[in-house]
Amino acid sequence: MSYTTTLALNQTGRAVSRLYARLAIRLDLELQAPLAPGAKIIAANHPTTTDPFLMMGLTGEPIYILITDMCFQMPLLGGFLRGAGHIPVVAGSGRAAFDAAVGLLQQGKSVGIFPEGALSPIGGGLCPPHTGVARLALATGAPVLPAGIALQWDHVTYREARGGDTVDTARLYVGGPYAVTIGRPLHLAGDGDDRVLVQRSAQGVMDAIASLARASALRLPDGRLSEPATALVPAIGRS
């Protein structure tokens, strides 16, 4: 697929994301610093399956998001994601996704990533971070922009999702407030082969995300990070 087509599809995704944010949810976006053009890594927590779609509309320039390969196996959606240049993350084969993200960052592009590597726990809190976000920053020198998402769980609906041979429970967010705070850039430096440094850096990014999620929660109507009522959570979706 040509670069022009990829760019057009990426732009279409961003336009649809912004339309959804205006009509289907109540997006509350706060930037602690202007989003500078050029290479950057936006790293966010991941409470719902809708998050990558909404991340597409957060910047005024193309962004290429690392998304689970299951989504790329879905009819129509998978074709769009590939065509728009987003990056499939295949379990056990993360190197290909890492290399693709490095290539985009070296070209001055923006990349989106969810360091938890999975949906956040339903009961609240965050999953331990994977190290990819730190390794990307150390390999390319691109700044990390941590982003904290807060929402109201009673606006999450649960649906069975199937991609290829994989069946999972999708968490879709409709109708409620969706607060996002994007923090100031974090500049990581050091040896990307130093495991201790990489793990410490990844945890530092996750700590910043957690702090920003708490800041976002203060702008919700109830002013806190809400938790889902157990009765609303299907058994297949419980932690």
pTM comes to 0.91
CATH value at residue 177: 3.40.1130
Q: What is the pLDDT of residues 209-224, one digit of tens each?
A: 999 999 999 999 876 6
Class of residue 187 by CB neighbours under 10 A (exposed 0-12, middle 13-18, buried 19+): exposed
Structural domains counted in the chain = 1
Give 231's pLDDT tier (boundaries 50, 70, 90): very low
Tokens encoding 86: 């987003």
Residue-number span of the structural domain to which 108 is assigned = 3-237
Q: What is the pLDDT of residues 143-180, one digit of tens each?
A: 999 999 999 999 999 999 888 888 889 999 999 999 99
Q: Answer with the residue of higher pLDDT: 238 or 105.
A: 105
Task: Measure the CA angle with vertex 22, ends 79 and 86; round to 5°.
Answer: 25
